Amino acid sequence: MTALTRRPDKDTHREGWNVYFGDVRVGYIGIQAGVPNDCPQWGWSCGFSPGCDPGQHYNGTADTFEEARAEFEEAWARLRPTRNEVHFEIWRRNRDWTAWKYRMFDAKLPLPTQTKNDRARCFCGAEITNRSLDAHVQESHRGIGN
């Protein structure tokens, strides 16, 4: 069974960790910003979108990282049995689509939906159409959002 792993948040303004189940980001544990000193400083959230319904997300606060991690793991133990590979694949496809789209924007290339003839060129050089777009991203750029 795949274990949960933590990766440091890349945002230098936040102290915390993204929590992954394989390659799917399933939550976050970190210090909360703007919380009064007499309140729990650590927060956590468990759930991923798309792939979970809004009511399937859990979150909470804790006084220490160890408490936040333990509470996160309890929430994951409730959520994990309700998810299957289809749910994780929905999240991956969204991750890759979003990363591909922003790479197109950064390259100042139009999407097929932004052209008069519904055709465009991908940053990889392939011609893409509205009909071929999803398959192209999933077949040629799988994992681009990792």
- Quick: pLDDT tens for 40-58: 999 999 999 999 998 999 9
* pLDDT computed for residue 1 by the predictor: 52
* pLDDT computed for residue 131 by the predictor: 95
- Quick: pLDDT tens for 8-47: 999 888 899 999 999 999 999 999 999 999 999 999 999 9
* pLDDT computed for residue 2 by the predictor: 75
* pLDDT computed for residue 13 by the predictor: 86
Q: What angle do CA 111, 126, 95 make, to 5 degrees?
A: 55
Domain ranges of the chain: 4-82, 85-140
Q: What angle do CA 13, 18, 19 make, to 5 degrees?
A: 165
Please, which contacts does 38-44 make with residues 24 or more away whose CB atoms are closer than 8 Å? 42/67, 42/68, 43/68, 44/68, 44/69, 44/71, 44/72, 44/75
DSSP state of 73: H
Query: Higher model confidence: residue 2 or residue 143?
Result: 143
- Which tokens in the block code for residue 20? 């992954």
- What number of other Cβ atoms are within 10 A of residue 99's Cβ? 16
- In this prediction the pTM is 0.88
How much is the mean pLDDT over the chain? 95
- Which tokens in the block code for residue 108? 């100042």
Q: What is the mean pLDDT of residues 125-142?
A: 96
- The C-alpha atoms of residue 80 and residue 96 are separated, in whole angstroms, by 22
What Cα–Cα distance (Å) separates residue 8 from each residue in 16, 19, 31, 107?
6, 9, 12, 28
Residue 69 has pLDDT above 80, yes or no: yes
Tell me the percentage of the chain whose pLDDT exceeds 90: 92
